[in-house]
A and B are shown apart, each in its own frame.
Chain A
Amino acid sequence: MSYVVVRFPEPRDVYIDDEAQGSNIAASGKPRALFVNAGKHTFRLSRAENVDPAEQTVDVPERPILNPFRVEFKKC
C-alpha cells in the first residue's frame, strides 16, 4: 500500500480510477494524504476545465506515510 498527496493550489475533489476520494486539501488548509494501493492508477480532479493535465495515469510506488508519493496538477 501507499500514501499519495495530490497537489493543486485550490481544494478539488480527487478521483482515483474514476472514484471520488474526497478533497485534496484538509480542513486545516494543508494537503491531505490519501490511502492508495501501489501500482498504476488514473488521477483527475473535479472541475477539470482549468486543470493541467486533465487526468494522469501514474505508477504509484510503495511509500511510507512520512514520505507520500506526489501527484501534481497545475492551474491553467
Chain B
Amino acid sequence: MRGFAVALVVGTTAFGCAAPINPRLAAYDAAGYRYANVRTDAAEEELFVILAFSGGGTRAAAFSYGVLEGLQSVRYQPVTGTERTLLDDVDVISSVSGGSFTAAHYALFGTEGFKHFEDNFLYRNIQGELVVRAFAPWNWARLLRSDVSRTDLAADLYDEVVFHHATFATLLQAPRRRPYLLLNATDMTLGARFEFTQDQFDLLCSDLSAVPVARAVAASSAFPVLLSPVTLHNYSGGHCDDFRAPRWLSNGLGSLEQPRRVAVARNLMSYRTHVQDRPFVHLLDGGLSDNIGLRGPYVALSGQDSAWSLFTKINQGKVRRVLVITANARTGRDPDWGKRESPPGVVDVLGLVTTGPMGNYSFETVQLIAEHFTRLKLDLEDYRACETLAKKECPAFSMPFEPPADVTFHAVELAFDNVTEDERLKSCLEGLATSFHLPRAQVTLLRQVAQRLLMTSPPFIDAMHGIAPAWQPRAVTIDPALIAEACPRP
C-alpha cells in the first residue's frame, strides 16, 4: 500500500503541472483562425453553402458523414469553370457534439481523410477505449490531479487516433477550398454558445492557434455528468488592455431596443468586464446551448453582428445564392412514459433535462432561418409588385431606390422525421443510442439514410436545379438486408 502511495506521489510529481490548453495571446492582430484567413477567395462565395451538424454521438457523426458523402457525389458543371462537386462549395460547417468529429476531420483532412475517419472513428469502439483509459492504472495518478479530468483522457484519445495532434494552426495550413469550421461548446457560467474561433479567443486574450482541435471537439461533446467540463484560462485584463472590441460588438451593447443583440453582446463582453470573477471558462457539450449548430450561422445570416456576416457579403454583391443544409440526428423520446403510472427513472429524467429543451430550441432555430429566408424573398416580391403596380398607373414612374442584391435562399433540413416511406426504418433510427460506439450495420445505415434523404429532399433538389438546371438526383436505395441487420425486430 505504501508503495502504491509513493507511486502516486511520484507519478503525480513526474507529470508536473499541466500547461493551460489555451496559451496567452502575445499581441492582438488579424492573424489566427478567422473566416477571412480561411476563405480568402471571394469568387468562391457566389454560392454560399453552410452545413450544420447536430449532436448525438456516433449516430450524429455517421449521419453528418453521410451528408458529406452525398454532397461529394453531387457533380455539376457551373456556368464558368470546370466540373466540380457541391462539397467543394461548402464555405462553413458549424457543429456541436458528435457532429463536431465529422466537421473537424473533414476541415482538417478533406475527402482524402474519409477512409481514415471511417476506420478510426465511425466504426471504432471509441466509448470502450474511453472506459479502458479511465480505468487503466497508469491513468490513476493523472486523474487524482485537480487539473486532469475524464474529458482530458478523452481529448488525448481523440488527439492520438482521430486528429493526429492537429491544432487550429494546422487548420489554417489546410488546402484552399476547405470550409471554415465552427466548433461550438457551451459556456457553463453563461449558459451560452462558445465557438472555437480566434474572434472568440480574442475576448479571452488567448491564442487559439496552439490549441489541439481534439480539445475543442472534446469540449463540444463533453456530455454532462458522463464527461467533465473543459477548462480554459481567461487572460483578459492586465497586459491585454490594447484589446479593441469590434464595432458591431460595442454597438450591440448600446442597442437597447434590441434585447437579443444586447444579450449576445453582454455575454461576449463579460469575458473582459468580469475577468476578476471569471479567470476560468468551463465548457460543456455544445448541444446544451444549441443542439443543431445553427445559432452561429443564424446570427451571420441575419445581421452584421458576426465576423463573417452574410448581410455584409450580400451587400458587397459577393453572395448570390445561400444554401443551408442541416443534418439533425435527433431521436424520439420514449413514447411509453405516458402509458405507465410510475414516473420515468433518473436516467430518463437526466436525458430529458439535458437534451429535451434543446430539441425544442433547435426546432425553433430551423424555423427562424426558414422564416428569415421567406421574409427576405417576400420583401423583394413586395418591392417588385409595388414597382409593377405603380408603372401600370404611371408608366414614367421609377422607384426612388434599388433593392438590395437579389439573393436566392434555400434551407434544407435532413432529419429522421423525413423518413416517411418506411415506418420500421424511421422507428429504428429514432431509437438509436447516443453513444460513441454503434454496431457496424447501424453506422452504414445512417450513412445511406443521410444520402437518400439528401437526394430526395425537395428543397435540395430545388436548390440544385437553381445551381445547375440539368442536374438530376441519383437514386439511393437502402439495402433491405442492411435494415434487417441494423434494426433487428424486437
Contact = CB atoms under 8 A, between A and B. Distances in A.
Are A and B co-members of a single complex? Answer: yes
Interface residues of A, number: 33
Residue among A3, A33, A40 with the highest chain B CB neighbour number at 10 A: A40
A40 B251 CA distance: 5
A21 interface: yes
A17 B372 CA distance: 22
Given A17-B246, A37-B302, A37-B303, A66 B386 contact: yes
Interface residues of B, number: 36
A30 interface: yes
A16 B401 contact: no
B389 to A, nearest CB: 11
Contact of B404 (A16, A32, A66): A32
B39 to A, nearest CB: 15
A1 B303 contact: yes
B343 interface: no
Contact of A42 (B251, B316, B317, B383): B251
B37 interface: no
Contacts of A42: 247, 251
Contacts of B379: 3, 64-65
B304 interface: yes
B400 A66 contact: no
A4 to B, nearest CB: 10
Nearest to B318: A22
B30 to A, nearest CB: 12
B248 to A, nearest CB: 4
Interface stretch (B168-176, B306-314, B458-466): B306-314
Contact of B251 (A26, A31, A32, A41): A41
Residue among B257, B317, B375, B398 with the highest chain A CB neighbour number at 10 A: B257
B403 interface: yes
A48 interface: no
Given A1-B303, A37-B261, A37-B311, A30 B399 contact: yes
A20 to B, nearest CB: 7
B401 A30 contact: yes
Given A16-B315, A30-B398, A35-B314, 13 more contacts: A20-B312, A20-B316, A21-B315, A22-B316, A22-B317, A28-B402, A31-B401, A35-B376, A37-B258, A37-B261, A38-B257, A41-B251, A65-B380
Interface of A: 1, 3, 5, 14, 16-22, 26, 28, 30-42, 57, 59, 61, 64-66, 68
